[in-house]
Amino acid sequence: MRLARQSERGDTIIEVLFAVTVFAMVAVGSLSIMNQGTGSAQRSLEVTLVRAQIDAQAEAIRFIHQAYVTSYQKNVEPVGIAAGWTDIVTNHKKDVPSAYGALTADNKCPDAVPPNAFIVNARIATVSGVTPTMRPPEGSSLPPFAQVAYNGDILDQAYGMWVEAVPSAATDGPDFVDFHIRACWDSPGAAIPVTLGTIVRLYEPN
């Protein structure tokens, strides 16, 4: 009778605690891996969407430049879209671009865009009068990634994205303008903000 009772003995408290500990470690590790995978997928999607908007800015600037070149070749005053090029080189030029990556010394996005920075309404290929925003208004928040927000063909606001126009400084070569298209935003789960950018060089027709 005693042998039968001993064979029916249950697990000790130490065995139960050990099993719970192992299960908890496996569960926490699995959740951590899932979170990392989700964060990586979200950042990849954000980069893809921001890259598409940067490409749209670049194409709109090229279109403005081509319209200006056409006016120059016809020896007529640039008007409409072509006049946008004159606006850029007159009102938005910079001597030097901001540092690539656009992060501050403490690894944050800048509080404001650099002087003379601008944004283009890519839907109608015109320079917008809207100043890009880097910090949310009081009581609200920025979108989850850098973007240009439209209301139909009207550009409402640009969040975390801007363009800098830097004309050539050389006197013995062709004149050109480098357009530095930049984006900076805080991505969930990332230790530092995500930065993205490209440079488009366009030559003056003279």
In a domain, 168, yes or no: yes
Output the pLDDT for position 17.
Answer: 79
In a domain, 24, yes or no: no
Measured torsion, CA atoms of residues 163, 203, 96, 53, in degrees rounded to the nearest 10: 20
Range(s) of the domain holding residue 65? 40-203
Output the pLDDT for position 91.
Answer: 92
Percentage, residues of the chain above pLDDT 70 = 85
Residue 19, pLDDT above cutoff 80 = no
Output the pLDDT for position 186.
Answer: 87
In a domain, 18, yes or no: no
Task: Dump pLDDT digits (tens) for 22-64.
Answer: 777 877 766 666 666 666 777 888 999 999 999 999 999 999 9
Structural domains of the chain, count = 1
In a domain, 100, yes or no: yes
Output the pLDDT for position 2.
Answer: 52
pTM above 0.85, yes or no: no
Output the pLDDT for position 38.
Answer: 66
In a domain, 28, yes or no: no
Task: Dump pLDDT digits (tens) for 164-204.
Answer: 999 987 655 568 999 999 999 988 777 888 899 999 999 99
